[in-house]
Chains A and B, each alone.
Chain A
Amino acid sequence: MRRVMIALLAGLLFGAGLVHSGMSDPARVRAFLDLLGGAWDPTLTFVMGGAIVPMAIAWRIRRRLDAPFADTSFTLPATTGITPSLIGGSVLFGIGWGIAGLCPGPAIADLAIAPVPAAIFVTAMLGGMILHRLLPALPAKQPPLETSHV
């Protein structure tokens, strides 16, 4: 229960941060990606900069910990192994991101702000995820996990 509450708190802060930073507005995100439009919006660079600072500190703290505060081990993806599916999938994601101005976090947060268009996007997104899982040639590859037990 404690771990569920921690995850809920993290989700709340994440969703609040997305809206506060303007990243829940697809047109603003698209204005960042729009280099030819003459009205480039730099906000996303500030959001990334602001988000990376506490995360970089957290990674440094993590090095001194044997286990996270509320669980028995760290379960983290591998950092190496640049595969064709990593690059191909990321390129596809970037194409979809450019088309709609939405990535998964803002799309789900927007279910509370603009329920109808957000629900359409999220439904299609889940459809894309299911499609990926169903395709036998492209199994839902989880990156190998690096687990450190106490």
Chain B
Amino acid sequence: MNWAGAMPLAGLTGGLLIGLAGAIMLLGLGRIAGVSGLVARATGIAPGGTPWPIASAFIIGLPVGAWLIALVAGSVTTRFPPSMTVLVLGGLIVGFGTRMGSGCTSGHGVCGLSRLSPRSIAATASFMVAGFATVALMRVLGVSW
């Protein structure tokens, strides 16, 4: 366990902001703040669903909000995988999987779990177990980063 490097308080307050964002989407617009679905809609990859201007506004908000908080914080640590192969392979699988599974950490994880949706509970359990297993397997194979 790495409590020294953990950020419990910032995690909690950042999480509250994420949940507030989800609550605004639900109570304001009657929609799920699911990033994979909204990104597919904003890029036109998903033919229907949330109206395009709403999906696009939400997706544009993500990096702008990130930029604003980084401006306030001064510096932000982001340690990306050092390998192009890891980035591309991870991205391809995440894109394919989130469309096939109809959601990701935000839609199924945050919005679905808090709704006690059986579909989202099953989806979240699946991607969590797969995530743990993948990282463990990469460690065993000596390809962790």
Contact surface of A with B, Cβ cutoff 8 Å: 3-28, 30-31, 33-37, 39-59, 61-62, 65, 67-71, 73-82, 85-105, 107-114, 117-118, 120-133, 138, 140-143
Contacts and interface: CB of A to CB of B under 8 A. Distances in A.
Secondary structure type dominating chain A contacts: helix
Nearest to B82: A117
Contact of B104 (A99, A105, A123, A141): A105
Contacts of A73: 30
Interface of B: 1-3, 5-33, 35-36, 39-40, 43, 45-51, 53-55, 57-70, 73, 76-81, 84, 86-120, 122-124, 126-136, 138-140, 144-145
Secondary structure type dominating chain B contacts: helix
B119 A11 contact: no
B81 A101 contact: yes
Given A8-B58, A41-B5, A127-B91, A82 B122 contact: yes
Max count, chain B CB within 10 A of own CB: residue among A37, A73, A103, A138: A103
Contacts of A8: 57-58, 60-61
Contacts of B28: 3, 6, 10, 68-71
A14 B65 contact: yes
Contacts of B24: 6, 9-10, 13
27 contacts: A5-B57, A11-B65, A14-B21, A14-B22, A14-B106, A19-B65, A19-B73, A21-B17, A50-B14, A50-B15, A50-B18, A51-B16, A65-B27, A74-B30, A79-B112, A81-B119, A86-B123, A94-B129, A100-B94, A103-B94, A109-B62, A112-B67, A117-B87, A120-B88, A120-B91, A125-B92, A131-B96
Given A77-B32, A126-B43, A15 B11 contact: no
B120 to A, nearest CB: 7
Given A70-B28, A127-B91, A92 B58 contact: no
Contact of B18 (A5, A14, A74): A14
A107 B13 CA distance: 20
Contacts of B107: 77
B5 A7 contact: no
A37 B139 contact: yes
Nearest to B17: A17
B97 A89 contact: yes
B94 A10 contact: no
